A and B are shown apart, each in its own frame.
Chain A
Amino acid sequence: MYDVIIIGSGMAGLTAAIYASRKRMKYELIAGEFGGQFMESGEVLNYPGIVKTTGVELSSVMQEQLDFNSVKPKLEWVSTVEKIGRDFIVKTDKEEYKTKTVIVATGARHRKLNVPGEERLAKKGVVYCSICDGPLFSGLDVAIVGGGNSALEAVDFMKDIANKIYLIVRGPEFTAHEYLIEKVNANPKVEVLFNADTKEVLGKKFVSGIKLEKHGMMRELAVGGVIVEIGLIPNTDFVKGLVSLDEHGHIDINCKTESNVPGIFAAGDCASGHEYQYVIAAGQGCMALIKAARYLANRD
């Protein structure tokens, strides 16, 4: 019987695992793949104690820290978590783990536009990771869809790569950090279209344009790439029906990272904080582990 099973290997899960190891708890860190969204972050300029880094650099430092604390993630996909009495069984594609507590730190994935053409042209001009695939659009006109931090970071990343950037925002204003908004406003390459709803991605073999509706009028823009940055969907399908989720599918937690089920905690982007920041994920991962340890000490 384990003290705690930590599911997910992004910032929240790794932090929880480091604490679990240092507390000498009986634990496993389980994740389908290592590193969460580290691999999709460009520059990271707001992590306390680190002036400037990148997602990849941060990931390799975290790897070093895991080694230092003898944390060895198990690369398995979790399919279900079942409640048996006051304990739990975590089932993966390879094993079953009986545990007294569970920390869910499974993060979130990219939200899709769900418009015609998007799926057919995925990776053929429609991309969800600008730092990965953006450089392929060198010299082309591109459309970036979204008005939050990720979309504006994508604009900043693409400014020296693309020819012209259309920034397509569904709402009437940005929902991003001020410094990012200032950067976008100062960039002559960017044409911002507010209140613009993406209706279709156009193209035969590869993307050739995007169709929008703005104030009831249809408009087509000729672009060679469409970068979709419209937010995240929490990876919580496997605990649906077990714990209470909010209307967007995040696990409802209180300020102690407790879900509504005693013994199940959640941290990071899959939890109901709705602010996707490394430092929040780290803090919640730490909180979840300490609260899980306290729960164990009090339950017997």
Chain B
Amino acid sequence: MNVKVYSTPTCPWCHKVKDFLKANKVEFTEVNVAEDSEGRTEMIEKSEQMGVPVVSVDDSVVIGYDEVKLKELLKL
């Protein structure tokens, strides 16, 4: 499974998402959209919005910290 977390360093819910993934031993790539402008564009195109965090799991996208949806997609 290809998991990507689009986040900013100051966003509290982004920390929560990352902590959740780490606690469940899910490997993920992190994109800091505050600095990485290509990553930002990619996130906006994928999620059609500008709020963080965004988590992509293969072709699916989860906007915000949504534990229920993440568990379902990651089969936890």
Point out residues on A near B: beta carbons under 8 Å.
38-40, 42, 55-56, 59, 123-125, 127, 131-136, 138, 157, 161, 205-206, 225
Instruction: Report the nearest A residue to B14, measured CB to CB.
Output: A132
User: Beta-carbon contacts of B1-31 to A below 8 Å, as 1s and 0s?
Assistant: 0000000111111111000000000000000
Instruction: Report the nearest B residue to A56, measured CB to CB.
Output: B12
Of B8, B44, B63, the contact of A135 (CB 8 Å cutoff): B8
A136 touching B15 by the CB < 8 A rule? no
Of A38, A125, A132, the contact of B52 (CB 8 Å cutoff): A132
Of A56, A127, A138, the contact of B15 (CB 8 Å cutoff): A56
Bound state CA distance, A59 and B51, in angstroms? 22
Point out residues on B near A: beta carbons under 8 Å.
8-16, 33-35, 37, 40, 44, 48-52, 63
A135 touching B49 by the CB < 8 A rule? no
Task: Classify the secondary structure of A's interface with B.
Answer: helix
Instruction: Report the nearest A residue to B63, measured CB to CB.
Output: A123
Chain A residues within an 8 Å CB radius of B16: 39
B51 touching A131 by the CB < 8 A rule? no
Query: Interface centre among A133, A135, A138, by most B CB within 10 Å?
Result: A135
Bound state CA distance, A123 and B44, in angstroms? 10
B15 touching A135 by the CB < 8 A rule? no
A136 touching B34 by the CB < 8 A rule? yes
Instruction: Report the nearest B residue to A40, measured CB to CB.
Output: B12
Instruction: Report the nearest A residue to B15, measured CB to CB.
Output: A56
Chain A residues within an 8 Å CB radius of B49: 123-124
A55 touching B8 by the CB < 8 A rule? no
Bound state CA distance, A127 and B49, in angstroms? 11
B50 touching A42 by the CB < 8 A rule? no
Instruction: Report the nearest A residue to B50, measured CB to CB.
Output: A136
Query: Interface centre among A38, A123, A124, A206, by most B CB within 10 Å?
Result: A123
Instruction: Report the nearest A residue to B47, measured CB to CB.
Output: A123
A136 touching B40 by the CB < 8 A rule? yes
Instruction: Report the nearest B residue to A125, measured CB to CB.
Output: B50
Bound state CA distance, A38 and B16, in angstroms? 12
